[in-house]
Structure 1
Amino acid sequence: MTKIRSLFATRLYQARLSEHGAIDTDELEGSCYSIAEDDEAGQDWCEEQGYPGYTSYASLTDLPWRFPIFSDLVKVLDKHVAGFAEDLEFDLGDKSLVLEDIWINILPEGGTHSSHIHPHSVISGTTYVAMPEGASALKLEDPRLAMMMASPTRKKGCREELKSFVYVAPQVGDVLLWESWLRHEVPLNMAEENRVSVSFNYKWE
């Protein structure tokens, strides 16, 4: 009897932040802009690297200390990450998944964030603060893609699990989590207003 199974699952977690605690996204957005305005080192880094808009990734490591809203956010994210780790059936032993870093992304019209992974982390993710109409979705890449040397393309409308790329269009207040080895990118932002998000990594220690 013929039997076809799906193996080696790539899991994606999507939920509302509010499932594990209330976060005022208006206050969070205001804090993001306040930090961006004062972060001269981050502004300089973005300019030197040709990074569109602003990110605090290379300049600030203490957002939860600077603004209480980020401290509250981390407490909520901890619960979401714990739930995802349970779904992934990780055997964490006597260690746990803890926040490694958290940073702001402000992507203007026409801005992109090229395909990348997050080395040395276990779970990565993003929560969405401002997603104006036309803001770009998150693009996720099949981790096997580079090994599909002679494989035909998939049929249009094929099952999601068979697609080479999956686009996820989150809403404000959503949180997405994935394992850090999963390659992802932010395509061209077609919105006239900024796309604002907060991204983060969790490590095992």
Structure 2
Amino acid sequence: MAQIESLFVTRLYRAALSECGPAIDVQEMETSCIVIAEDDEAGQDWCEANGYPGYTSYASLTDLPWRFPVFADLVKSLDEHVANFAKDLEFDLDGRKLVLEDLWINILPEGGMHSSHLHPHSVISGTTYVAMPEGASALKLEDPRSGRMMAAPTRTKEARRELKPFIYMKPAVGDVLLWESWLRHEVPMNMAEDERISVSFNYRWE
């Protein structure tokens, strides 16, 4: 009898932020994100110069956990989530740790989007969700083999989830999603009238 099995699995971690670390007030985090965005002139200038819709602190602020205690608590929570994910991935860390490399705010207004990309030089990347109004865009994840399927036919609409070329994850406020940094992903256009707010991050092998 023929046997078919799935190989080379791509893992995605999803959990409530509150499952690990100190209790975090998501409303306080949302307020902090908005205050930082309003005060960060360097970040605003970078977004305007690079055609980034809305606001990101990626190119301007590297010390969010120092500036606001809620972000320091966030890092403690993320450290535990990432450690749990690394165990699931069965990484041989050789006695070393995965440590936070960078952490940044994303605020996408109506019509804003973030095109397909990956995170070079990192091991695990992820996002925690601070404000997800009705109609806010999901996270779109791409099959990492897509570039090697030049002659492959498309999948049927009814294809099993693990065979689909793209997966859309609709997180809730307070969720954290983690994936290996080589996984290409994007944020489609925000169709909500209100801002979609998230905090993204990278972890490296120290």
Using structure 1 for the length normalisation, give the TM-score.
0.99
How far did residue 194 of structure 1 move? 0.1
Partner of 1:17: 17
Indicate the residue corresponding to 1:103 in structure 2. Answer: 104
Match of 1:62 in 2: 63
Aligned-pair Cα RMSD in Å: 0.5
How far 1:39 moved relative to its partner? 0.5
Secondary structure, in 3 states, of the residue corresponding to 2:61? Answer: coil
Which residue is equivalent to 1:162?
Answer: 163
The CA deviation string for residues 97-117 of structure 1, in whole angstroms up to 9 with x for no partner, is: 000000000000000000000
- Partner letter of residue 115 of structure 2? S
Which residue in 2 is equivalent to 1:81?
82
Using the aligned pairs only, state the percent identity.
78
Inter-partner Cα distance in structure 1 for 2:167 and 2:24: 28
In 2, Cα distance between equivalents of 1:198 and 1:19: 17
Give the counterpart letter for 2:13 in structure 1: Y
- Partner of residue 145, structure 2: 144
CA distance in 1, matches of 2:161, 2:146: 15
C-alpha offsets along residues 145-183 of structure 1, whole Å, 9 cap, x if unaligned?
011011111111211110000000000000000000000
Residue 64 of structure 1 deviates from its aligned partner by 0.2
Distance in 2 (CA, whole Å) between partners of 1:94 and 1:29 is: 36
Task: Give the AA of the match of 1:49.
Answer: N
One-letter code of the match for 1:81?
V
Q: How many residue pairs get matched? A: 205
- The answer for unaligned runs of 5 or more in structure 1 is none
In the alignment, which residue of structure 1 is the partner of 2:4?
4
Paired letter, 1:176: L
3-state secondary structure, aligned to 2:115 = strand
Q: After TM superposition, what 4+ stretches of structure 1 lie above 3 angstroms from structure 2?
A: none
- State the alpha-carbon separation in 2 of the partners of residues 76 and 159 from structure 1: 33
Question: Counterpart of 2:133 in structure 1: which amino acid?
Answer: P
Between the aligned partners of 1:187 and 1:155, the Cα distance in structure 2 is 22
Q: Distance in 1 between matches of 2:87 and 2:12?
A: 13
Q: In 2, Cα distance between the equivalents of 1:84 and 1:163?
A: 23
For 1:157 and 1:64, the matched residues in 2 are separated by 44
Q: Which amino acid aligns with 1:16?
A: A
The superposition leaves residues 25-73 of structure 1 with CA deviations (integer Å, 9 ceiling, x where unpaired) of 0000000011111100000000000000000000000000000000000
